[in-house]
Structure 1
Amino acid sequence: MPDLSWSESETLNLPETDSKTAVTVRLEHRDALAFNATPEALFNLRLERDVVRVKTLTAMAASAHVRRNSTPAHGKDFSSSIISGLSQGSGEYFTRIGVGTPPKYAYMVLDTGSDIVWIQCSPCRKCYTQTDPIFDPKKSESYASVSCGTPLCRRLDTSGCNKRKSCIYQVSYGDGSFTVGEFSTETLTFRGTKIGNVALGCGHDNEGLFIGAAGLLGLGRGKLSFPSQSGRRFGGKFSYCLVDRSSKTSKPSSVMFGESAVSRLAVFTPMLTNPKLDTFYYLQLTGISVGGTRVPGITPSMFQIDAQGNGGVIIDSGTSVTRLTRSAYLPFRDAFRAGTTDLKRAPDFALFDTCYDLSGQTVIKVPTVVLHFGSGTDMNLPPENYLISIDSKASFCFAFAGTMSGLSIIGNIQQQGFRIVFDSAGSRIGIAPHGCA
């Protein structure tokens, strides 16, 4: 690969230090659990998963008002035809968490786009392949099933009962996969810190795109997400920083809970609320600059949430490529193309319509890209966050895509290297450059 040198890009050498304590756990990209796969194959699979996730998040937002007004299903029977409203696509980052007492450590998908915490449990009617042994609730001293009709069971969008009068949960996903099992409470351990009585789905029948991981840690805004359940202990605050997977750095990606999760370098934008959907983290995108100039025609009105809960902009850990509503994406893309006329174009690739052949070049100049959010918060993207390698032949693509949906999504490629702070207590989202230090 060429040694890329970029013009007009800022460098901030401000180490992030914090004397406060916090619960911090390491994150791994799901590709770390893949074996005997080429980088090209892994990248293609990542894009395929991304398409599934975006379709599901979009459908979830579009039908939010229907689910909001629906009545949960209760009764003795619980069939696979009952669909949870908390459907989403595949997660991209894993963290290792201890489940039960004594704790059994397992990889869990980190997901800000869903709420329910769940893990595969024995006995399995059907379980997919995971790296760690299947969790056995009978061997945990802290496991407790949730009874039917209790307030905790009623918090589920859909719930059912088994013969033992235990609460049954189900979560369905956009690709047709799902998890079904017994709703319970359990103790989770994060690097020695124990959090008791966490509502958790103990899945006995599971299919999905989570191969490798044992389950999912839901970090959404809903009432059953882990941040909501542990809000009193951690002050409703958590943050993560995702390291560029293609870099040679030894710094790990991480997620942090508590007051120290709020970086002193962060600048904040208001966390918006969708009255029809409480899972996603919405923020206000006001404009985009390319090469130091605001792109004409991109206005805040393009990213507003309407009365039906449609539209808006969310920031998501499990979506890779940022999607922008097409009316904003097209002028943005055209402005970037206008600043790269001296680069050799390459054929389109998958969802990318602006690609370049950079073979044989050692110094490449591209215009800067800045995302502008509410309250004057700017996200100055480093070039590797918007021009990414797609193969081993020096082909690079502009890492954004348009969508016909009104919902825009800030993906994890654009978030790499930033500490993203979720402060639900303060109704704000923070962005800190060089946040993985």
Structure 2
Amino acid sequence: MEKKTTHLFFFTLLLSLSLCSALDHQTLLLSPLPSAPSLSQPESFSETTSEPDSDPSSLSLPLHHLDALSSDQTPSQLFHLRLRRDSLRFNSLTSLAYNRTRPGPSSGFSSSIVSGLSQGSGEYFTRIGVGSPPKYLYMVLDTGSDVVWLQCAPCKRCYSQTDLVFDPRKSSSYSSLPCSSPLCRRLDSPGCSSKSKTCLYQVSYGDGSFTFGDFSTETLTFRRSKVPKVALGCGHDNEGLFVGAAGLLGLGRGKLSFPTQTGSRFNSKFSYCLVDRSASSKPSSVVFGDSAVSRTARFTPLVPNPKLDTFYYIELLGISVGGTRVRGITASLFKLDPSGNGGVIIDSGTSVTRLTRSAYISLRDAFRAGARSLKRAPEFSLFDTCFDLSGKTEVKVPTVVLHFRGADVSLPATNYLIPVDSSGTFCFAFAGTTGGLSIIGNIQQQGFRVVYDLAGKRVGFAPRGCA
């Protein structure tokens, strides 16, 4: 009897260890670097077919990755360009956070808004109709900025874009805003035309680029849904900016962003799902309105930053690797201080998640310890933890879970161990920063429907949300 009990004990122990191991690791199916995706046909509906959508309080649009505009580049070249854009994006966002939270008066005529458009670091764009009749243009979607703007004729200086430059003189719904308009006063530093007494805007970027022109209202058309009187910048002087798209749709939390302006129409809700192009042929998408909220989403409250209302700050409490909370990563490392410094934001235009340096080192060391069986490779660009997985089709890797207040987000393996070349090198897709601001990037968001509920002051994550 005692012998049977002993055998049963050891069998139970082995089964327990086996289950624990299965929970602590997951399989990564190795995929190569993705090639440039094809750009679908423009969604340009004629006036005769532009009947309204069945639900005017909701709309859905496909999203295209910036790589679709670089079909002549190899996968390795595309990845290097992405990392370069990402570095510029990160520097711009941290510069904005520092400059806007620093005490002291602002100088010059500038709204001091930094976005992913600078140097082409806007990662996702869609096609939007502008004006009446609508002219369909590619617009970058950016959760890191507020002001909606596009290039307009006549152009004093305009960069090269895929479509013809929008001419407001050919639109019956275009209207300039007077300097006294409440919308004009919402700009950080509005200007006023001495001749026409109409509102002027200028958005300045971290690298010295800018867009300048008339602040106006115009009708935007999303497929067949028309949204009238959206306040936007009609830029006649646009220098050093993104080549390809016509402008930017600001999706930030600020008072001039598209979600804020259309709060009554779409209930201040939107969501997107970004696909991993290495593993899926499905399109990415963005949804506005109540249907943007997934039933399976787990929510974390938004944290207010009175010094900077553009960004989506959330509270990161800790991170687990291999089923165990990482020592040294505590909520105190990511606190937003009374001056508005520090904190964690979630951003669609940043690719690689950046964590404050001490938190990153703890995370990296825990992952290295859990991935000892994998052959190490030299550092690559900003990644200091890489592996030589050449000749393999799949590997076991430690699980990684981000613990937000109220929401544990368990990442698929493809969201943190990614291919970086054509030779089988995969790197841990996190990086450290010496600045106070941490950013949850879009590689870690892949496959989740990320829900932005401004009315409920919360952000949600729904796994497998791109279906």
TM-score, normalised with respect to structure 1: 0.92
Q: What are the equivalent positions in structure 2 for 1:130-279 lying under 5 Å apart? A: 130-162=161-193, 163-247=195-279, 249-279=280-310
Deviation, 1:64, is 2.0
Deviation, 1:66, is 4.4
2:73 corresponding residue in structure 1:
37
* Distance across 2 between alignment mates of 1:35 and 1:258: 33
Report the AA paired with residue 8 of structure 1. Answer: H
Q: Is the 8 A contact 1:237 1:261 kept in 2?
A: yes
Give the SS at the match of 1:147: coil
* Distance across 1 between alignment mates of 2:448 and 2:60: 16
- Deviations 1:372-403, CA, capped at 9 Å, x for gaps: 0002x111111110011111111111000000
Give the SS at the match of 1:265: coil
Aligned counterpart for 2:157 among listed residues 119, 123, 126: 126
- Deviations 1:282-323, CA, capped at 9 Å, x for gaps: 111000000111101110111110010001000000000000
Deviation, 1:150, is 2.1
1:100 corresponding residue in structure 2:
131
Larger relative helix fraction: 2
Higher Cα Rg, which structure: 2
Report the AA paired with residue 211 of structure 2. Answer: T
Q: Is the 8 A contact 1:30 1:94 kept in 2?
A: yes
Give the SS at the match of 2:188: coil
Deviation, 1:91, is 1.1
Q: Is the 8 A contact 2:27 2:397 kept in 1?
A: no
* Distance across 2 between alignment mates of 1:63 and 1:421: 28
Aligned counterpart for 1:378 among listed residues 408, 415, 421: 408
Q: CA RMSD in A?
A: 1.9
1:52 aligns with 2:88: yes
Give the SS at the match of 2:394: coil
Report the AA paired with residue 340 of structure 2. Answer: G
Structure 2: runs of 5 or more not aligned:
1-22, 29-53
1:421 corresponding residue in structure 2:
451
Q: Is the 8 A contact 1:29 1:245 kept in 2?
A: no
Report the AA paired with residue 356 of structure 1. Answer: F
Q: Is the 8 A contact 1:119 1:201 kept in 2?
A: yes
Distance 1:7 1:131, change over 3 A: farther
Which one is further off, 156-165 or 418-427?
156-165
Report the AA paired with residue 310 of structure 2. Answer: T
- Deviations 1:226-282, CA, capped at 9 Å, x for gaps: 0000001111111000011222x3311111011110000101111111111100001
Q: Is the 8 A contact 1:7 1:365 kept in 2?
A: no
- Deviations 1:176-208, CA, capped at 9 Å, x for gaps: 221111110000011111111000100111124
* Distance across 1 between alignment mates of 2:278 and 2:395: 18
Distance 1:305 1:7, change over 3 A: closer
Report the AA paired with residue 194 of structure 1. Answer: K
1:399 corresponding residue in structure 2:
429
* Distance across 1 between alignment mates of 2:318 and 2:343: 13
Deviation, 1:10, is 8.9
Structure 1: runs of 5 or more not aligned:
1-5, 12-18, 74-80
* Distance across 2 between alignment mates of 1:50 and 1:346: 22
Give the SS at the match of 1:278: coil
- Deviations 1:330-364, CA, capped at 9 Å, x for gaps: 00000001111121111111111111111112331
2:327 corresponding residue in structure 1:
296
Give the SS at the match of 1:40: helix
* Distance across 2 between alignment mates of 1:123 and 1:172: 20
Give the SS at the match of 1:194: strand
Q: Is the 8 A contact 1:298 1:328 kept in 2?
A: yes
* Distance across 1 between alignment mates of 2:243 and 2:24: 41
* Distance across 2 between alignment mates of 1:321 and 1:276: 25
* Distance across 2 between alignment mates of 1:313 and 1:157: 24
Q: Is the 8 A contact 1:313 1:409 kept in 2?
A: yes
* Count of matched residue pairs: 415
1:432 corresponding residue in structure 2:
462
Aligned counterpart for 1:87 among listed residues 99, 103, 114: 114
Identity of aligned residues (%): 67
